[in-house]
Amino acid sequence: MPSEALNIPVRGGHAAQDIGEVSNSFGGNEVSTSPTATFHSPANSLGALRKPSAKQLKPFNTQDIKVLLLENVNETGQTILKGQKYQVEALKSSLPEDQLIEKIKDVHVIGIRSKTKLTANVLKHAKNLIVIGCFCIGTNQVDLQYAAESGIAVFNSPFSNSRSVAELMIGEIICLARQLGDRSMELHNGTWAKVSAGCWEVRGKTLGIIGYGHVGSQLSVLAEAMGMKVIYYDVINLMGLGTATQVPKLEDLLRQADFVTLHVPEIEDTKGMISTKEFEQMRKGAYLLNASRGSVVDIPALIKASQSGKLAGAALDVYPNEPGGNGPNFNAELNDFTEELRKLKNVLLTPHIGGSTEEAQSAIGVEVAEALVNYVNFGTTVGAVNMPEVSLRSLTLEEPNHVRVVYIHKNVPGVLRKVNEILGDHNVDKQMTDSRGDVAYLMADISDVNANDIRGLYQSLEDLGSRIMTRVLY
C-alpha cells in the first residue's frame, strides 16, 4: 500500500487516521496473561488479544485513541490499554454529569464501573465515542439502547466478581446470625456485651436466593457446604446445584426462608421488588441481604420491618444513591433515610464492595480491556451486551492489501444489497452480519484495496441512509 497520509473519519466529526502511520507493532503480549491465573475468567470465544502472527488492524495511529477511565479501573486494565499506545486518562472516582459531558466529548473509549451514569443525555455529547467498557457486571448505568442506536458497543465482565460477592454473602450470613456487627461496634466503644439471645448457628437454616444466576448459584454451593438448606426463585427455570430447589413464586421463598438474599439485575421488574408486602410475607426473625442494586429493596419499608422486630437483621451493600467517590458522604443528602438506617440494630452496611477484591478487580481489568482492544483494533463484538456478536478470523501479514469494513446500520430491508454493491468492486474474502433489535452489524474483509480506494469506499457507505457508523480498519 502507498504510504501517503489518508484521513478517514470514524464517526461524525472525527478525522485522525493516517494510513501511513498504521502501526503493526502490537506489543504487550504479556497483557493477555492474568496476574492470578486461578481467578482469571475463562476466555470467551473472543479469547485474549489476537496472536502476534495475526495482522494487527488499526485504523489509527493508536496514539490518537483517547481513553477515559473512571472509578479506579484496575492497573491490569490500564496496562493493556497503555500497551496499545492509546492516550489513557485514569481517574479514581466517577464524575458529575456536567464534568462527564465535557470529558466525554473527546474520547473514543470510556471505561466505567457501577457509578457513572451514561444516559442518553450524556452520550449525545460523545461525538467520537465508539465503545464503552463497564469494568463490572452491571450495565444498568448505561443507556444500552441509545448506545446501540448510536453505534457505540458496550462490554462488561459477566462473572469475574461473582465469587467475591458470594463469599461476602456467606460472611454476612454468619455475621447477622451472630450479631457480629453490633458486638464489634460495642466493644470498639468499650462495652462488653456477652449475649447468646437471638444468636444462631446457620447449619440447618434455610437460605432463599432471589435470582439464581452467576452470583446466586455460587452462593448456593457455598451455603450448602455450611449445612444450609437452599431454595431459590428465578424468572427462568434453572437446574439447582446440589440439593437446592427452585420455588415457583417469590412468596413461597419469602414464607420459607430464614435468610433472603437478592441477586437480580436492576430492570423494571426488579425495582422495589422487596417492599412492605414482601416484608410482611417473610418469617418473623428472618434476615434480608441485598448486594444487587439499591433500587431493588424499598429501604424505608426495610427500616420499618427492622424497627418492628419483623426482621432480625439485614445486610445492605447497595443503595438507591451512592457517592461518586470515597469520603464522609453517606448522609441524608444522599438518601433521606440514611440517618434512620444507620441507627438500626444488627444491620450491616457496606459501601458497595461485593465485587471489590484484588482477584476480581484484576481479572475484570484484563477481561474488559482486552474486549475494548479487540473492538477498537479489529471490530470484534463478541461479548458485547448491546450489539450483535460478530467476529471474523484475523487477516494475516500475507494479506497486505486487505481492509476490514465495519458497518453498523439500521436493521431495515435492502441494506445488505446496497452495501455489497459498494463492496462489489473489490473481492469480498469473508463477511459476517447479524442484527439485534433495530441495529445490525456487518463486518467484511475485502482484498485488492488500494489506499486511494479507502476514502471512496468509506464515503459511499457513509452516504447510505441506513448508516449508523462506518469504520475501515487496515
Q: Residue 85 and residue 81: Cα distance in Å, rounded?
A: 7
Reply yes or no on whether 462 is catalytic: no
CB nearer to ligand 3PG: pick between 115 and 455: 115
CB nearer to ligand NAD: pick between 197 and 236: 236
Three-state SS for 85?
coil
Q: Residue 215 and residue 159: Cα distance in Å, rounded?
A: 8
At 345, the amino acid letter reads K
- Residue of 233, 319, 378, 407 interacting with ligand NAD (CB under 6 A): 233
Q: Residue 393 and residue 64: Cα distance in Å, rounded?
A: 26
Q: How far is the CB of 355 from ligand NAD (least distance, A)?
A: 4
Q: Residue 250 and residue 233: Cα distance in Å, rounded?
A: 6
CB nearer to ligand NAD: pick between 248 and 328: 248
Residue 113 interacts with, from ligand 3PG, ligand NAD, none (CB under 5-8 Å by kind)? ligand 3PG
Q: How far is the CB of 167 from ligand NAD (least distance, A)?
A: 11
User: Footprint of ligand 3PG on this chain (CB under 6 A)?
Assistant: 113-115, 136-138, 161, 352, 354-356
Q: Which of 75, 322, 340, 462 is catalytic?
A: 322
Reply yes or no on whether 352 is catalytic: yes
Stretch that binds ligand NAD, among 14-22, 158-166, 175-183, 187-195 (CB under 6 A): 158-166
Window 344-373: residues binding ligand NAD (CB under 6 A) = 352, 354-355
Check residue 83 for interaction with ligand NAD (CB under 6 A): no
Which of the 8 DSSP states describes residue 142? Answer: B
Reply yes or no on whether 467 is catalytic: no
Check residue 74 for interaction with ligand NAD (CB under 6 A): no
User: Scanning the structure block, which residue is given the C-alpha cell 473514543?
Assistant: 108
Of 242, 237, 246, give the one whose Cα is nearest residue 218.
242
Q: Let me know: does 230 contact 218? Beta carbons within 8 Å.
A: no
Residue 35 interacts with, from ligand 3PG, ligand NAD, none (CB under 5-8 Å by kind)? none
Cα separation values, 374 from 57, 197, 203, 335, 378, Å: 9, 57, 47, 40, 5
- Residue of 209, 264, 387, 406 interacting with ligand NAD (CB under 6 A): 264
Q: Which of 14, 352, 404, 471 is catalytic?
A: 352
Contacts of 258 (CB under 8 A, 6+ apart): 205, 206, 207, 283, 285, 286, 287
Of 223, 259, 261, 260, give the one whose Cα is nearest residue 243.
223
Extract the C-alpha cell encoding 86: 492509546
Q: How many residues bind ligand NAD (CB under 6 A)?
A: 31
Contacts of 307 (CB under 8 A, 6+ apart): 344
Question: Sheet harboring 245-246: ordered strands across?
Answer: 245-246, 229-233, 206-210, 259-262, 286-290, 311-316, 347-349
Q: How far is the CB of 114 from ligand NAD (least distance, A)?
A: 7
Stretch that binds ligand NAD, among 68-76, 78-86, 200-208, 287-295 (CB under 6 A): 287-295
CB nearer to ligand NAD: pick between 137 and 148: 137
Extract the C-alpha cell encoding 164: 467475591
Stretch that binds ligand NAD, among 84-92, 288-296, 332-340, 396-404 (CB under 6 A): 288-296
Q: Let me know: does 262 contact 278? Beta carbons within 8 Å.
A: no
CB nearer to ligand 3PG: pick between 335 and 460: 335
What does the binding site for ligand NAD look like in residue numbers (CB under 6 A)? 137-138, 159, 161-162, 165, 210-216, 233-236, 263-266, 269-270, 291-293, 317-318, 352, 354-355
- Positions marked active-site: 293, 322, 352
